[in-house]
Structure 1
Amino acid sequence: MAELPELIQLLTDKSKLTAMLAPSFPVVYDYPGIVGKLKRLGFAYVVEVAAGAEETNKKVIEALKKDEKARYITSPCPSFVRMVRKKYPHLEKYLAYAAESPMIQTAKMVKVKWPDYQAVFIGPCFVKKLEASEDFPDLKLLVLTYKELDEVFKHFQINDEEKDKQAEFDITFPGTRLYPISGGLVQSGNLKEILSDDQIQVVSGWQNCGKALIDFQASDTVRLLDILFCDGGCIMGGGITSSLNLEERRRRVTQYWVLGKTINKPSC
């Protein structure tokens, strides 16, 4: 995992850095403490990848409205995308490539806003490293998991401090904070306002992906297959260290989303 020593070196050199925090972060970290902690670590800016998720949603909705007969498979999950490419190449044409993942949308946003800063995505998934390096190499995006971030905190002896709770995201979007939960795209994008229930299929879990793809191919009704590789969504990603079960993880993300509805406003 070359990304870990690379980030440590960048921080040691006091390089210009922007942290992009995936929407599953409440499973592991408290807000706003994690933002302050990242800034003390050496990140000049800390942004919420939920902001990029809003752009992903917009592109999905645009595609569905543009052609009322079009059918799409949506997934921000590089493991699932690679599964389709390798095992179901005849279905790749349905992947909504135009609606790039929230990580990529956020990286592009950050590149425009702070072009001289190295963007670092921090999230629950090891395979996001391949999405960045293989699918979008021009973005030069550095990807670490929460597990690796904890190692960085340990290396620099950065512990929680009370003053961290005064920090805020430099870019935020509360409305899409449910994205890492199975069905998060459908709910946060209000897709049931433009599609009927029988036109939407939500699936999670690697063991369910194959059947879901076969069913999608055979269906004349489903226009949107919203699918995540990890059972329950990104909140169960392999880059997370947590003793919480699925329901407890879902509750933490949901509570953070509710918090955003009451006190936060989008900022870019």
Structure 2
Amino acid sequence: MNLGLTGKSVFVAASSKGLGKAVALEFAREGASLTIASRSREQLEQTRDEIRAATGHEAAIVQMDVLNKEEIRRAIQAASAGGGLDILVTNAGGPPSGYFSVMEDEDWVGGFELSLLSTIRMIREALPPMRSGGGGRIVNLASSSIKQPIEGLILSNVFRAGVQALTKSLASELANDGILINTIAPGRIATDRVNELDSKRAVDRNTSIEEIQEQAASLIPLGRMGTPEEFARYVVFYGSFANTYVTGQTLLVDGGMLKGI
């Protein structure tokens, strides 16, 4: 299948590691004109080198803290300066774990700014160049918690659901501009973030991380965690111009873990 990505301008946020990095690498494999963003220039340069070695394509890099409105503006302007912006992938690290009983106002504000407001700001900056170019694709990375709350992740549960609501709301507003927007929600994908959360659960439950991960895998019909590369392929399709009729939707990439209809 031709995804129609050769030469298309793609901006992937929080892409120096984890799922963002895997997504950026997959876009590069499809021949996109790629800009990657992260807070750490050192990690960005390392990721750029890895993308070059794996695909032969050169990614542009731009430092961006998703909590900083001006940095978001500058980063997306830089990505669109060479001929517009075709595809935006919003992404940010997960907010701190914890239960409602320990969360103070500053935790809620921080979770909102990280998980929801950053997405709003990135989309706002991306729309003018997309509209001037005649359309585009937006993919918001979220979490399976938008469909089923995850114990001990109250901030993520609340604000990731807001991302899903934003996606559904914007689908109607952006359709006449030729802009399709969707949310891709990972289940248990083998990333540093999942390992970090599993390690915390292991300590809380006085067990090993291996035991935590074995228990979790037993609840997944496919019997294992997914890989970042598997997840990235779905993001790239929904963010491509092979996707011509799916918008406002949420796709769970979870190996069948969530059972709700």
Q: TM-score, normalised by structure 2?
A: 0.31
Q: TM-score, normalised by structure 1?
A: 0.30
Q: Which has the higher contact order (CA 8 A, sep 6+)?
A: 1
